[in-house]
Amino acid sequence: MLFSFPAHAAGDGGDAKEAVYSDFNRAGGVYYMYPFTGHTVTPPPPGYTAVYLSHYGRHGARYLLNDTQYERSLGVLRAAHEQDALTAEGERLWQEASAYFEEECRFRAGDLTPLGWEQHYNIAREIYKDNRSFFRKRPAVTAGASQVPRCIVSMAAFCQGLSSKDPALQIYEAASRAELDEINPHADENPRRTNVRMEEGRYARRDPWGTGLKEFIDNRIDHRAIAGRIFRDPDFPKPFRGTRAFVTDLYDLVFNMQCTPTKRSLMWVFSPEECYKLWEINNYIHYMEAAPPATMRDLPALWNLLDDADNAIAAGKPSVRLRFGHDTVFLFLVSAMGADGFGIVPESADGISENWYNYRCPMAATFYLLFCKGRKGDVIFKFVLNGEEAKLPLEPVKGPWYKWADLKTMLEARFQRQ
């Protein structure tokens, strides 16, 4: 389905390239840090009262996922250092990267960083402030997290943030396999998972337009030229995973640094244009792993979100549902609902970055739907994405407020429940 709806501004200038050039941390895509900014809070139209807040938050800033991810870049640099195979620039890179790893990252792979804890604590306080009148009703708050520790700690930080604003709030927290269909449907641990796993290996997959990741990379960067600045022989990484993979692995190391409490930066290893092109590659990877129709593996989370809202509204008591999961589910849900143009399906792989940009799912990315009931029983809602009231491909009631029935109709037509 092609939504004929204008995309939200990609950044300061409304264009992804301009946005990345204005802040190269955005080139980190999903490593970008949550942008706390001033924003507008639009109250519901007269006659409507808030009854339910439905939230989904990605875990906060983390270290790289696992030790293997660090080894893929640092291990190659270490081997080259030991064999005197590095250029002067490569030796500088090795010294700074290895010092950074020892200072900040050893034994912490996959963990939430201190910055990630602060993010969720402060996001909770911001959401409370923006919806103070609703929270003063003392709604029942239930929170659920993926069973991954960084998600559980993110949930704890968020709930502490809420409690700091109102210690009388009753908050229940859980991290149960029974809730994974709602929070992380494609997880191996999900007992209800029925979807077929994506083909293993990013380099083996073909996208809906017939493009492969290798082709997409080669059309954007000269990975051998980048390797040539680091190694005396640009083919040095070949026996490991190859120059193409080394460069994208190094990208992960470099841009994940913003998520950790370090004063170091390795961004100098890439030129500004390479930073942007590497973002395009990372953005493409995430589109393939998260956006419909490229993948539908997280569709159960969408139906759970809809059903939970109907049940909560029907219960007639103010309530809040908090969910703490992962970037792929977050991006799937935002794309499925077409928020700020994310529902637009490009005509080719090259068009992805024109309307879909993964830095809108930064570390601690958060969206929520605030539901309000009218005197006649009708229900409206607004969609708030990283603190900003989002636009949806629907006719608004007023400002950022939309009819709940319209969103359900759109989604049922687009995805069709089985």
Each residue of 240-250: pLDDT tens digit? 999 999 999 99
**Is there a domain that residue 280 lies in?**
no
> What residue numbers bound the domain in which 123 lies?
16-62+114-195+296-415
**Is there a domain that residue 127 lies in?**
yes
> Is residue 214 a contact partner of residue 35, using CB atoms and an 8 Å limit?
no
**Is there a domain that residue 290 lies in?**
no
Q: Both tokens of residue 51?
A: 């009854």
Instruction: Give the separation between CA 124 and CA 56, rounded to whole angstroms.
Output: 12
Instruction: Give the separation between CA 339 and CA 322, rounded to whole angstroms.
Output: 19
Long-range contacts of 198-203 (CB under 8 A, 24+ apart): 198/289, 198/295, 198/297, 202/285, 202/288, 203/245
Residue among 403, 391, 407, 386 at smallest CA distance from 302: 407
**Is there a domain that residue 282 lies in?**
no
158-211 pLDDT, tens digit per residue, is 999 999 999 999 999 999 999 999 999 999 999 999 865 665 567 777 788 888
Instruction: Give the separation between CA 377 and CA 396, rounded to whole angstroms.
Output: 18
Of the residues 271, 286, 307, which one is the last residue of a structural domain?
Answer: 271
Of the chain, the percentage scoring pLDDT greater than 90 comes to: 89
Say whether both 78 and 161 belong to one domain.
Answer: no
CB half-sphere exposure, 215, CA atoms < 13 A: 10
How does the average pLDDT of the chain come out, rounded? 93
Q: Both tokens of residue 84?
A: 């005197």
**Is there a domain that residue 213 lies in?**
yes
Chain-centroid distance, C-alpha 93:
28
Model pLDDT, residue 418: 66
Amino acid at 61: A
Coil/strand/helix, residue 148: coil
Say whether both 151 and 261 belong to one domain.
Answer: no
Instruction: Give the separation between CA 375 and CA 370, rounded to whole angstroms.
Output: 17
**Is there a domain that residue 390 lies in?**
yes
Say whether both 156 and 206 belong to one domain.
Answer: no
Q: What's the average model confidence in pLDDT over 365-389?
A: 97
Find the CATH number of the domain harbouring 375: 3.40.50.1240
pTM (two decimals) = 0.94
Say whether both 409 and 315 belong to one domain.
Answer: yes
Which sign does the torsion angle of CA 27, 32, 37, 42 carry?
positive
Say whether both 172 and 259 belong to one domain.
Answer: no
Say whether both 229 and 323 belong to one domain.
Answer: no
**Is there a domain that residue 395 lies in?**
yes
130-163 pLDDT, tens digit per residue, is 999 999 999 999 999 999 999 999 999 999 999 9
Say whether both 240 and 120 belong to one domain.
Answer: no
**Is there a domain that residue 154 lies in?**
yes
Say whether both 53 and 23 belong to one domain.
Answer: yes
Of 9-13, 52-56, 271-275, the least confident? 9-13
Phi, psi dihedrals of residue 161, rounded to the nearest 5°: -65, -45
Say whether both 322 and 349 belong to one domain.
Answer: yes
Domain total of the chain: 2
Say whether both 244 and 374 belong to one domain.
Answer: no
Say whether both 388 and 348 belong to one domain.
Answer: yes
Say whether both 80 and 189 belong to one domain.
Answer: no
Residue among 367, 311, 378, 300 at smallest CA distance from 338: 367
